[in-house]
């Protein structure tokens, strides 16, 4: 499978996802349903085409670039952020650190005693 083929697979999955989300009025966004769909297809087929793996990993390698345009949108909200910078900054920093800690500790606690199964 070449790059165009791989992109087509990704876009078809996303389109089906968007259509299902809209038709059934699901609270889940289309691309997430597309993700589940592609995952299900891969599990069912039991193998991963090399071209799809290359294109997907190439796209994901620069995932952070894709967030830049939305981030630049900060300039539209300068007034609100200026007025509420303290609650926003503390909430973002505090909540992000708490979330990392809670998630890691919960997962680690349940993995203890399963050491033999880890690599």
Partner 1 sequence: MSGGIAGVWVYLSTTPLLGLTVTLLAYQGAYWLYERANFHPLLNPVAWSVAVLVALLVATGTPYETYFDGAKFVHFLLGPATVALAVPLYAQLGKLKRLALPLSVALLAGSLAAIASAVGIGWLFGASRETLLSLAPKSVTTPIAMGIAEKLGGLPGLTAVLVVATGIIGAVSAKYVLNALRIDDHAVRGFAVGTAAHGIGTARAFQVSEEAGAFAGLAMGLNGLATALLFPFLLWLVVRAGWA
Residue 62 DSSP label: T
Does residue 3 interact with partner 1 by CB under 8 A?
no
Asked if 116 touches partner 1 (CB under 8 A), the answer is no
Binding to partner 1 by residue 4, rule CB under 8 A?
A: no
Is residue 88 within the footprint of partner 1 (CB under 8 A)?
yes
Binding flag, residue 65, partner 1 (CB under 8 A): yes
Judge whether 68 and 16 are in contact, CB under 8 Å: no
Return the number of the residue (24 or 68) whose C-beta is nearest partner 1.
68
Window 7 to 36, contacts with partner 1 (CB under 8 A) = 7, 10-11, 13-14, 17, 27-32, 34-36
State yes or no: residue 92 binds partner 1 (CB under 8 A). Answer: yes
Size of the site for partner 1 (CB under 8 A): 75
Residue 8 tokens read as 């087509």
In the complex, the smallest distance separating the C-beta of residue 8 from partner 1, rounded to whole angstroms, is 10
Per DSSP, the residues of 64-115 read GGGGHHHHHGGGGGHHHHHHTHHHHHHHHHHHHHHHHHHHHHHHHHHHTT-G
Name the residue among 41, 44, 21 with its Cα closest to residue 31: 21
């Amino acid at each position: 499978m070449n790059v165009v083929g791989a992109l087509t697979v990704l876009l078809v999955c996303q389109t089906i996802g968007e259509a299902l989300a809209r038709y059934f009025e699901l609270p889940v966004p289309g691309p997430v349903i597309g993700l589940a769909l592609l995952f299900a297809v891969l599990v069912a087929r039991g193998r991963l085409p090399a071209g799809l793996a290359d294109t997907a990993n190439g796209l994901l390698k620069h995932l952070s670039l894709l967030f830049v345009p939305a981030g630049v949108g900060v300039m539209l909200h300068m007034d609100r952020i200026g007025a509420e910078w303290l609650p926003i900054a503390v909430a973002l920093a505090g909540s992000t650190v708490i979330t990392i800690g809670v998630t890691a500790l919960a997962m680690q606690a349940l993995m203890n005693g399963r050491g033999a199964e880890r690599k």
